[in-house]
Each structure stands twice: as structure tokens, then as C-alpha cells.
Amino acid sequence: MFHFGADYYPEHWPESRWPTDARLMQEAGFTVVRLAEFAWTKIEPSPGKYHFAWLDRAIDLLAAHGISVLLGTPTASPPAWLMNQDETLFRVQRDGRRHSYGNRRGYCPNHPDYHAHSRRIVTVLAEHYAGNENVIGWQIDNEFGDPCYCEICRRAFHEFLKEKYQTLDELNTRWGTDFWSHIYTDWAQIPLPMEVISASDPSLELDFKRFASQSYVRFQQLQIDILREKSPGKPITHNFMEFSYDQINYFDLARSLDFVALDSYPRGFWSPKLAPNPAHIALDLDAARGLKQKNFWMMEQQSGPSGAHYVGETPRPGEIRLWAYQSIAHGADAILFFRWRTCRFGVEQYWHGILDHAGLPNRRYEEVKRMGSELKLLAEIAGSKPQAQTAILVSPDSRFAFHIQPNNAAFNYKQHVRDIYAPLHRRHVTVDILSESADFSAYRLLFAPALYVLPQALAEKLKQFVAQGGTLVLTPRSGVKDEHNLVVDAPLPGLLTELVGAVVEEYDSPAPDMQNHLEFSLPGLTAQPSALGWRDILRPATARVIACYGRDYYAGKPAIVLNQYGQGQVLYIGTFSDETLYEALTDWLLTLSNVSPVLPVSSSIEVTQRGDFYFLLNHSAQTETVQLPRKMFNLLTTQPVETLALAAHEVAILKSV
């Protein structure tokens, strides 16, 4: 069975309204709501005085309507009475400014007193609800956030470095502090990489990013330990942000959770008014599934216009349901819409939910309700998993390092992964997003984009993957750095040179107006995509040339090479380029690596597979006709089908007959 519901804030409404909410939720087919992730002061209005009665009543009322509850630990938004005790509880930004009360996520994640207060509130919550069967799980905090640059964090950073390097000699060597003779003779001398320093050491910066990430992982663990002890048997999650968020190593953050939850806002008010890109949403979803290689929950599925000072466009008819099915199509086993009802006050006054401020059933409610009744026909799908032959390896360390040194102003790691992903998505190819610790052996085609920070063990693992018959695709700036963010003492791509069968003879980091393009030497490939963002000029040893540059002093020199290695092959692409390059290469690559689409359907709709089930999603505003390769069974109409006319924003869910 799928979980279905919304993020609900009963504390924002008179209690006399709650029964109406519960009834409307039940009528919409809700099975679960998330509660209380920002309700610390409502639960503890003054130090040590706990008020659970209101929350107990809300939970009981929901239970009476067949709706379970996932509770948030409220540490993302602490009480004013607590934070005003001591200004050092507030986080310091990179520019040196300290947060003050009035927002959320403003706490220092390493502050011992904040830890103590968090332990206390999580303990009382866990003890109070451990025996409540209607509380089915926990969400820790809310969208863990950004680094803190305070004195407490500086000292904690020193401890992190001591544990990692043991001696200052070791740290000085690994960081290369001979440069500008930044040699440290006492741990306490090591600074934080703040903006007051014009540019800081890339090795120090990378370790600080790892430290800042670990700070949240540990703060989360502190809460997990309490919940596991005091409230055993209730699964624990955290709500992660989309693929664009890269301040935390999300693989680390996911490790000791029971499952991952994602927040998704395809029509965010902050983006230019472009139609949501189905491939970008799909990548966010696959990335969420990839964090634990496991199905996930959609904890905040957009259900209304988003907004703060400005109001974003409203989801078009059908879009809310379409996005929710897209989440399921990529492995969500629960859909919770953000939020049940638009709040009349506060920072998110214009961040709309299903119901508008007035709280009456509306177009969006009817759409959600329709989905609620449909899910009853789809129960057998829950728990099934997408199976991929293709994967993209994502390196959080490389992302951190590119933050520090983007190399070329036109380069953006997230966009690079999107450029690779979108043509696969268009071809209905299932993609897994992997960390470097994943097992690669199940895949035929593996992309390892911009593997900038490359540990020896990963290089060996990639060699093994190829030697055993895999097809690996590498892109520029791979193998450039060691784990300490030092440039390797070897021709590029460093540890990957033998595998690639070529070296980077020299590179050019072009200005935006320095146009160039690629010319392929593959039969039938006449496209000439631009060579943007970076240009490695390659000298093949064992590799064969696939494309050359079209212009400049390196016209005719190799830009893309293919090398046989063991039973497999490696494609090294020497330019970042854009989606047009991957659009040109993807059919050839799929044939080369023997990867097939989930269904051979030639249409612009999205097609995915989970277990024995196929999802066909029409993201366009027009009807799309789809010819299926064989007769199938349509679970929503309960009819067999071979040709489908899928209306704008419509969905079909099929299984084989």
C-alpha cells in the first residue's frame, strides 16, 4: 500500500476546525500526515514545561479518521526563549555575520548547549509517543542546512583535523602548507575558510566542507540514537532537498536513516518562469532513490503556487497529480503534499498548499482526491523497485571541490549531470545514481562525470568495472586531484590514464566567446555540438579517436577517445559541452553498451518501469498518442490497451498481460 497524505499544521488553526480537516483528508483517501516539525515552542512553551495535550488530541482525531502520523523532531526551529539565552547558539555565516532570531535553521550544529536542548526535546517526544501506535515514524529536523563558522565550530574543526591527521606534520604535508609558508605549528592556529580571507587554501577548504557536512550527520545521529533507544521500531527519516543541494554529503546523511524522504517543488517561485523540466525532476527523484539504493518517501510534494515576496504560477490542472505519479514512477512509496492548507500568517503566507487560505475544497483538492481513490487500484505496485542497467556516479567530494574552484566560470556540476541524464531520460532508460561505495557490477553503462577528486581505491574499482566488461564514460577534470585536493603529480587524467589509453597533452579553459565545436569520426554522426566550458587536447596511446575539435590551434586534435580495456571500454570526453553533445552520442552509447529502454515507445512522454509496472507520463500540454509494442493492461481504467491517447498532464499505469 502507498502512504498518501500531507504536511499538516493543526497548531495554525482553531481546534474547532480540526474535525473538518480530518474529514476532508479522509475523503481524499489520506493515510498519513506529517506533524509538528516546527512545533517546539508549542510543545515546550517555557523551559521544561511540556504541553502534549493539543498534539495528542490532534493525533487521536486523525486516528479516528484512519490517518497515521509521522512526527518531526522540532530542532530546525527552536524557541525564542531558548535562543535568546546565549547568542553563541546562533550560526555564523561565511561572511562573519551571526544569525539572530526570526528565521529557522539558524542554530550552530556543534554547540554543546544546543545539543543538550535537542537531546531533551527529542527524549521527551520519543518517550511520550513510543507507545502510540498511530505514530508510525519520525522525521529528524528539517532540510539540514549550511555550514557554521563560529568559534565553537573552529575548535570542533581542529578536533576533526586531529582525528584525521594525527600529527601537524602529516596535515602540513597533505595540505601542502609550504605554499606561502602557511605551516601550522599548533592546531589552534588553523583558520576557518571565511570570506574575510581573500582566498583560502583548497585543501583546508575541502576538509572544512567535509567537517561541516559531518557536523550535521553527527547532529542527526545524536537524535537517531535517542529515537532508536526510546521509541524502538519506528522508522526514522529526514527530508532531503533536490539534487542541486550540495553543502552536505547526502550519502553520509542517508546512511543510518531507515529511508530517505525528498522535498520537491517543480514550479518554484525562485526559478525563471519556465515550464518545469521533467528530466530535471526525474533526476532529483533518482538521486533520492540513489542515496540508499532504496525506495523513498516524497515528504513535500508541491501542491499549490509557491511563494514568499512574489507568488509563483499555480500548478496547471493535472500537474500536481502528474508530479506525484512521477515520484512514484521513480520509486516513491509515499506521497505527502506540502502543505494541507495555506497558512494565513508567517513567512510562508504565500507558500500555498492543497487548500487555499479559506480552507474550502478547490480544484487542487479534487485532483488530490482523485489520486487518493486511484491509489487503491495500485496497491500491488508499492515496494517494487526500478531496475537500472545504467548509472551515474556522483562524487560529493568532487562537488565540494568544484565549489571551491569551479575551474571554468561556465562549468556547473549539477548542470553537467543534467546534460548527461536528460538524453537518457528522453529515451526511457532507467538510471541509478550511485555513490563511490556502491557495487558497480550490476550495470552495463556507467557515467562518472567530472571525477575531480579521485581516491586510489575508486580508480581501481573503475578499472575493475571496465575490465569485467562495463562501459565507462569519463568527462573532463577527472583524476586531477588527490583526496587532499592536491593536483596529482602525473599527466592527466592521473590514475585513470592507463584506463583511458590517452593523456591530456594540454588543456584550454575557454572564455565564453571562444567558440569551438566537435567533429565526429563515427559513421552517421553528423552533429557538430559545441565544445564549451573546457577543452582537453588528447594524445591517444591505445585509444581510438571518436571526435576532434573543429577550430583554434588544436583543430583536428582529439577531443573524445574510446579505449578497449579488458572486456570493456572507456569513453573519455575532453569537453564539458552541453546537452547537445550527449543527445548526439547517447544512441551510439546505448548500442555500444547493450542497454535498452524500458519500453520501445517513440514519443515525447516519460516512460519508467518499477517491477512489472510501467508508468507513462505526459508532461506536455497536448494530447500524445502512444503505440505500445504489445497489448498491456491499464490499471487505472482496468482495460487492456495497445494504443493510448494520453491527454495533457495525464498518466497511464500499465502492466504486462
Interacting residue ranges for ligand GLA, rule: CB under 6 A: 142-143, 239, 263, 300, 338, 348, 351
CA-to-CA separations, 109 to 160, 163, 361, 603, in angstroms, rounded:
14, 19, 41, 48
Specify whether 143 is catalytic: yes
143 binds, among ligand GLA, Zn ion, none (CB under 5 to 8 A by kind): ligand GLA
Of 74 and 386, nearer to ligand GLA (C-beta) is 74
Separation CA 105–CA 78 (nearest Å)? 9
Does 654 participate in binding Zn ion (rule CB under 5 A)? no
Q: Which residue is nearest to ligand GLA (CB)?
A: 263
Does 153 participate in binding Zn ion (rule CB under 5 A)? yes
Does 108 participate in binding Zn ion (rule CB under 5 A)? yes
Helix (H, G, I), strand (E, B) or coil at 304: coil
Burial annotation 545-577 (CB, 10 A radius, 16+ → b, else e): bbbbbbeeebeebbbbbbbebeebbbbbbbbbb
* Identity at 476, one-letter amino acid code: P
Q: What number of CA atoms fall less than 13 Å from residue 185's CA on the CB side? A: 1
The three-state DSSP-derived secondary structure of 536-552 is EEEEECCCEEEEEECCC
Of 252 and 300, nearer to ligand GLA (C-beta) is 300
Of 315 and 479, nearer to ligand GLA (C-beta) is 315
259 binds, among ligand GLA, Zn ion, none (CB under 5 to 8 A by kind): none
* Piece in contact with Zn ion (CB under 5 A), picked from 60-68, 146-154, 199-207, 229-237: 146-154
Contact yes or no for 425/286 (Cβ under 8 A): no
Separation CA 107–CA 114 (nearest Å)? 8
* Piece in contact with Zn ion (CB under 5 A), picked from 32-40, 149-157, 293-301, 357-365: 149-157
Contact yes or no for 636/377 (Cβ under 8 A): yes
Provide the grid cell at 548: 576532434
Contact yes or no for 388/430 (Cβ under 8 A): yes
Which of 27, 143, 483, 583 is catalytic? The answer is 143
Of 368 and 595, nearer to ligand GLA (C-beta) is 368
Of 343 and 538, nearer to ligand GLA (C-beta) is 343
263 binds, among Zn ion, ligand GLA, none (CB under 5 to 8 A by kind): ligand GLA
Contact yes or no for 650/318 (Cβ under 8 A): yes
496 binds, among ligand GLA, Zn ion, none (CB under 5 to 8 A by kind): none
Q: How many CB atoms lie within 10 A of CB 22?
A: 22
Q: How many CB atoms lie within 10 A of CB 494?
A: 21
Of 239 and 408, nearer to ligand GLA (C-beta) is 239
CB of 366 to ligand GLA, least distance (A): 23
CB of 326 to ligand GLA, least distance (A): 17
Specify whether 37 is catalytic: no
Does 148 participate in binding Zn ion (rule CB under 5 A)? yes
* Piece in contact with Zn ion (CB under 5 A), picked from 60-68, 144-152, 308-316, 382-390: 144-152
CA-to-CA separations, 370 to 3, 23, 364, 484, in angstroms, rounded:
15, 16, 10, 53
Contact yes or no for 496/454 (Cβ under 8 A): yes
* Piece in contact with Zn ion (CB under 5 A), picked from 106-114, 247-255, 282-290, 440-448: 106-114
Q: Is 49 exposed, middle or buried (0-12, 13-18, 19+ CB in 10 A)?
A: exposed
CB of 42 to ligand GLA, least distance (A): 15
Provide the grid cell at 14: 482553531
Helix (H, G, I), strand (E, B) or coil at 64: helix
Does 212 participate in binding Zn ion (rule CB under 5 A)? no
264 binds, among Zn ion, ligand GLA, none (CB under 5 to 8 A by kind): none
* Piece in contact with Zn ion (CB under 5 A), picked from 104-112, 240-248, 384-392, 397-405: 104-112
Does 150 participate in binding Zn ion (rule CB under 5 A)? yes
Of 300 and 536, nearer to ligand GLA (C-beta) is 300
> Residue count at the site for Zn ion (CB under 5 A)?
5
CB of 343 to ligand GLA, least distance (A): 10
Place of cell 520501445: 600
What distance lies between CA 228 and its chain's CA centroid? 25
Separation CA 206–CA 480 (nearest Å)? 14
CB of 283 to ligand GLA, least distance (A): 18
Contact yes or no for 454/479 (Cβ under 8 A): yes
Helix (H, G, I), strand (E, B) or coil at 340: coil
CB of 460 to ligand GLA, least distance (A): 39
Of 117 and 416, nearer to Zn ion (C-beta) is 117
Contacts of 69 (CB under 8 A, 6+ apart): 32, 33, 34, 35, 59, 62, 63, 134, 135, 136
CB of 215 to ligand GLA, least distance (A): 19
Which of 37, 205, 242, 300 is catalytic? The answer is 300
Separation CA 236–CA 265 (nearest Å)? 23
148 binds, among Zn ion, ligand GLA, none (CB under 5 to 8 A by kind): Zn ion
CB of 475 to ligand GLA, least distance (A): 31
| Residue ranges that bind Zn ion, judged by CB under 5 A | 108, 148, 150, 152-153
Active-site residues: which are they?
143, 300
